[in-house]
């Protein structure tokens, strides 16, 4: 799996030297490259179907062939699916909040205060 990702140009997003703003900026740049792709849309659609199916199974109290319910496991799966579905919107929200905070701090100081953390175009390569 790592080889497939590496050949496609993906590498670990986080490094030990990254500041939180730099990490969020990298994540936003990476995901903005694929959010409009059909493969990503299909992935999100399938995750949504899985979430809805799992929620319905929990609500109906579905049992397996041995008559046992797996509600605790299904609730755990539902939680993970919800986290996956909100991951990219969360990155975008965090990035927007950080940019607003940076701009507010610089407006108060009336000068750049973060040095290298200036906003850059997210269309450039982040590596």
pLDDT at 84: 92
pLDDT, tens digit, 9 for 90 and up, residues 15-45: 666 688 888 888 898 899 899 999 999 999 9
- Note whether 74 and 54 are within 8 A (CB): yes
pLDDT, tens digit, 9 for 90 and up, residues 80-106: 999 999 999 999 999 999 889 888 888
| Among 3-17, 61-75, 103-117, the range of highest mean pLDDT | 61-75
DSSP code, position 121: -
pLDDT at 116: 53
DSSP code, position 37: S
> What pairs with residue 25 in β-bridges?
none
């Amino acid at each position: 799996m790592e080889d497939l990702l590496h050949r496609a140009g993906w590498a670990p997003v986080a490094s030990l030297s990254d500041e939180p703003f730099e990490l969020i900026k990298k994540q936003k740049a990476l995901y903005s490259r694929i959010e409009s792709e059909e493969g990503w849309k299909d992935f999100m659609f399938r995750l949504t179907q899985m979430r809805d199916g799992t929620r319905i199974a929990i609500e109906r109290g579905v049992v397996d062939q041995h008559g046992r319910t797996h509600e605790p496991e299904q609730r755990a799966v539902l939680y993970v699916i919800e986290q996956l579905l909100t991951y990219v919107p969360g990155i975008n929200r965090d990035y927007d909040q950080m940019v607003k905070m940076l701009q507010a701090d610089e407006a108060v100081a009336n000068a750049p205060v973060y040095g290298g953390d200036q906003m850059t175009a997210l269309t450039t390569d982040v590596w």
